[in-house]
Amino acid sequence: MYSQCGDKIILRGPNKMTTWIDREGKSFAEIAKTGSNVVRIVAVSTDKPSDIKRWIEKCIELKMIPMVENHTATGKWDEVPAVVAWWTSDSMVNVIKRYDDVFILNIANECGDGNVTDEQLREGYSDFIVKIRAKGINCPVVIDGMQWAQKPNQMLRVAPYILESDPMKNVIFSSHFYGRNEESQVLPVAGQEAFIKETVDSYIAKDLCFIWGEFGAGVPSDGRPVAYKYLLDYSATNEVGCLPWSFDNCNNDGAFLNMTSDNTFAGTEGWGTEVLLSLPNSFKNTARTPLYIANGRSIKTK
């Protein structure tokens, strides 16, 4: 991604379960202290345009890129049209167009299981993008792959067609990584590293804009470690964006992915401290604020 100023934009910042944990967006100021240049903001279809506007504005004020994703259709390909209708409602379009030069639209989080075919993925997302562009929305759009965004090879097969269908040619392809391969098999750490490398190299070879839209540190329920340090390092070396899940302190089954104990910078702990602050390729050490935020220029993937 590049701004109109010509500076390269490498997305490095956390996910935030804003709609469930921090509806006022107070923790965005805490995230900014980590040096992050983006926040992937969780929204759902019951959120109002005024909510999205508030979250976008808070990010912009703090010199971070707001990337909003709709979580409603997670794992449910047949519900994506309703999500697209939410994005393209007149009231939502009015908000998005107001901030079109400082906004990234992640259409639908992890919106399909492993049964979505290449043809469905290709034709569906091409249609969704056309509908979004028809409303005058010009910002980059992010597409999550199928099988809860963990089939990057499938997305790679159809990505050129989807990109070509976009009048703006402004698409970011996203995969999520939690230690499994394309067939949902748990990989040993060495296998994970090979999978990460192959995925990044393949997207670079096709000159596609690619990010790791989510990744975690491990899955205690089955003793599965995740090669998050390698993902962080290889992404930095190859200028690939990466957004860990998440800067939250939830107490449900996903609590092991918490990066902070209390939604504050001071409460950053464990793998969160490593990824955000202490590792050589942590966000504190590598994230750069794009010039366009300061001077009002827009961003494109090409």
- In the chain, how many domains are there? 1
Could you tell me the pTM of the whole model?
0.96
- Print the domain residue range for 256: 2-300
Which residues neighbour 301 within 8 Å (Cβ) at sequence distance 6 or greater? 1, 140, 169, 170, 171, 172, 209
Q: What is the pLDDT along the chain (302 residues), one digit of tens a residue?
A: 888 778 899 999 999 999 999 999 999 999 999 999 999 999 999 999 999 999 999 999 999 999 999 999 999 999 999 999 999 999 999 999 999 989 999 999 999 999 999 999 999 999 999 999 999 999 999 999 999 999 999 999 999 999 999 999 999 999 999 999 999 999 999 999 999 999 999 999 999 999 999 999 988 878 889 999 999 999 999 999 999 999 999 988 788 999 999 999 999 999 999 999 999 999 999 999 988 776 766 667 65
Query: CA–CA distance from 290 to each of 4, 8, 9, 38, 39 (Å)?
Result: 10, 8, 6, 10, 14
List the CATH number of the domain containing 57. 3.20.20.80
